[in-house]
Amino acid sequence: MKLLSSPFLVCLTAALSSAFLISPPHMWTKLILTHHWPTTFCSMEHCHPNISYWTLHGLWPDKGIDCNSSWHFNFSEIEDLRPDMVKSWPDLRNSSSAGFWKYEWHKHGTCAAKADSLNSQHKYFSKALELYHKLDLDSILKKFDITPSEKYYTLSQIEGVIENFYRVKPKIQCAHPSKNAGVQTLGQIEICFHSDFTLLDCEKHATVKTFSKGGWDNLMGVDKSSGFSVCDPDTPVYYPPPS
């Protein structure tokens, strides 16, 4: 068997290097725009936001967490976004704090910033707000009669509205107060995007995405074994009215 010629090896190495630069192995491929329902959140965290619309939880790339601990959050870089941030992306536990935004930047923003389109704090937060307003999830649900109510919905009713309007599959998550509860409470809706910000089907893995005091990672007041997870298609869904 003849050895490959040196010019061939040089070309192969260059091609592989080029491919690596274009698609680095740890680069994310999907963004998850996550909305949460304040009434559900605050029933578990004992906050009182007096908000009657879906708010932003975050914009999450599908790969990476805390990608650059040295890239510190600097609110002065997004000062111009403050009015919209306070309204659309509030810290439901402490409306006067920027701690939630700092947390989202460190955990998710520093990873999203691997893409040139999101490679600054201003780009990251402004793009999340832009996508949130373009989707206008709160208005779409209301338009098709999915409104907070004492009556229960089926998961298929909520999914159907979102799928029919946006033409993609969402990931809808509920809180489960106990293992054998006869109802689940609507808490979070994820809608996904390609890296070019076009809509994409979300994968419905039954992973837990939760919040916590201080860390936004554990739900309070719900059964720890079930947590805050993908809604059960066979269990009625409670969409609680603002208190």
Residue numbers annotated as active site: 57, 104, 108
Q: Can you tell me the distance from the alpha carbon of 220 to that of 213, in angstroms, rounded to the nearest whole number?
A: 8
Neighbours of 236 (CB within 10 A): 14
By residue count, the chain amounts to 243
Place of tokens 């700092």: 102
Closest Cα partner for 231 from 152, 124, 119, 134? 152
Which structure tokens are listed for 110? 């520093």
Between strands 199-200 and 30-36, the pairing is unpaired
Q: Can you tell me the distance from the alpha carbon of 143 to that of 231, in angstroms, rounded to the nearest whole number?
A: 22
Rounded to 5 degrees, φ, ψ at 42 are -75, -15
Rounded to 5 degrees, φ, ψ at 81 are -90, -5
